[in-house]
A and B are shown apart, each in its own frame.
Chain A
Amino acid sequence: MIRFIHYINQFFGQIGGEEKAGISPKMIQGSVGPGRLIHKLIEGQGEMIATLICGDNYFSEKTEDALQELLKWIAELKPDLLIAGPAFNAGRYGVACGEICKRVREELGVPSVTGMYPKNPGVELYKKHVYIIETTQDASGMEKAMSKMIRLGLKLVREEPVGKPSEEGYIPKGIKKNVLSNKLASQRAVELLLKKLKGEPFQTEIPFPEVDSVPPALPIRNLRKAKIALVTEGGLVSKGNPDHLESARATHYVKCLIGDLKRLSSEDFESIHRGFDTHFVNEDPNRLVPLDVLRHIEQEGIFKEIFPIYFVTTGVATTLENGRRIGKEIAHELKTGGVSGAILTAT
């Protein structure tokens, strides 16, 4: 018999509404509230050993305390599966469900499933890490959601292959896997074009990207007093690449000392970037990191000084996680260095 544990909040745990959202974790034997539905649906295959209840505010404000207790109980109870929620559109509840599902899987190796309405904030935060069954906005879709959650949960417990999001009912994880189609890409392309030309409905395989923009920083108020730093993604390093910067998809950045240097010479600098033909830049590195002319402009007093270090990395456009992290690290260095503005160059 498969051992189930159910996690719910104070409301579904029949303790109270908002006024009880601060209650600390509680463990109850057997099923409570919607847990009774689980109990009914799993009859013959599994049993509900316990229900864990926690107030949404408590979980949100004292997350680690809550988890410490909850995970301790779960470890002792040794369940085969954790079902959390479903949280429908309740934000704090959704986040709590997502977090506990993620942690039981990561720390205790227990498979988990939850359910949320697609606009629940918990979805964006947890869809990559946790299976979230798509639900209605409110509890009217309880039974449907619960049966899908259990169905998927049983597959996870039995280590059976999980089907596509549309088959199983979960919100796509935003993970794309390489798979083999049964048609050549060229064939799919021609057939897609014929559909498009006939005015028939068609589907693209690569959706439009969502641009994530950042509000512009406040401009430099007094350029004459400004410290300007140079940064490049073109892989221009000291000859010999002593810091071993990767030639593509860099995982880190390198600092190149320029001090009072008037220009970058081809004897001392080279580009190790493999994504473009580097010979023009190697002939004259100032074509990528424009120290020579920037130094002239500095000497004319247009701005105060060039930061004595420039920062280098390679091709981070194609690895967003690394790009973000490297960007944050460089930003930190610039801030510490009192830099007023940065000039970035890319191929």
Chain B
Amino acid sequence: MLEKEIERAGIPAVLITSLIPTAKMMGANRIVQGVGITHPLGNPRVSQGEEKSLRRKILRAALQLLTEKIENGKVVTPLEMETPSSGKK
């Protein structure tokens, strides 16, 4: 929603969220897959160091997407192979 309005004004905007289907349905153009609903750029199950590392991966992917010319909606999943936690404690 916000992403679209910012793009409409001519500023490239990238949305980081775990729920890609919703972002796509809302018509967001630049989407990076986040980790989880309750921690889009974090993972309470791993060490602080690992968290910062995944945060960096996501942010680098986001910045990269801002520099790309895109036609329709594009989704990037920088953490594809990693299994996030759901905070099961």
Contacts and interface: CB of A to CB of B under 8 A. Distances in A.
A71 to B, nearest CB: 34
Contacts of A217: 6-13, 29
B39 A288 contact: yes
A228 B13 CA distance: 10
Q: How large is the interface on B (under 10, 10 to 19, 20 to 34, 35 or more residues)?
A: 35 or more
Nearest to B56: A293
Interface residues of A, number: 60
Most chain B CB within a 10 A radius of its CB, from A209, A216, A303: A216
A5 B39 CA distance: 61
A331 B9 CA distance: 6
Contacts of B24: 211
B12 A218 contact: yes
A294 B40 CA distance: 15
A297 B40 contact: no
A345 B17 contact: yes
Most chain A CB within a 10 A radius of its CB, from B6, B7, B19: B6
Nearest to B55: A293
Contacts of B68: 219
A231 B2 contact: yes
A85 interface: no
A211 B21 CA distance: 12
A340 B11 contact: yes
Contacts of B4: 212-214, 327
B1 interface: yes
Nearest to A324: B5
A331 B6 contact: yes
> What secondary structure prevails in chain A residues at the interface with B?
mixed
Nearest to A253: B2
A299 B39 CA distance: 25
Interface stretch (A11-19, A239-247, A315-323): A315-323
Given A217-B7, A280-B42, A293-B56, A317 B17 contact: no
Interface of A: 209, 211-221, 223, 226, 228, 231, 233-234, 276-281, 283-284, 286-288, 290, 292-294, 296-297, 302-303, 313, 316-317, 320, 323-324, 326-328, 330-332, 334-335, 339-347
Given A211-B27, A223-B67, A287-B40, 20 more contacts: A209-B25, A214-B4, A217-B12, A218-B10, A219-B67, A277-B38, A280-B38, A284-B42, A286-B55, A288-B39, A317-B1, A317-B26, A326-B2, A327-B2, A327-B3, A341-B11, A342-B3, A342-B6, A343-B13, A344-B2
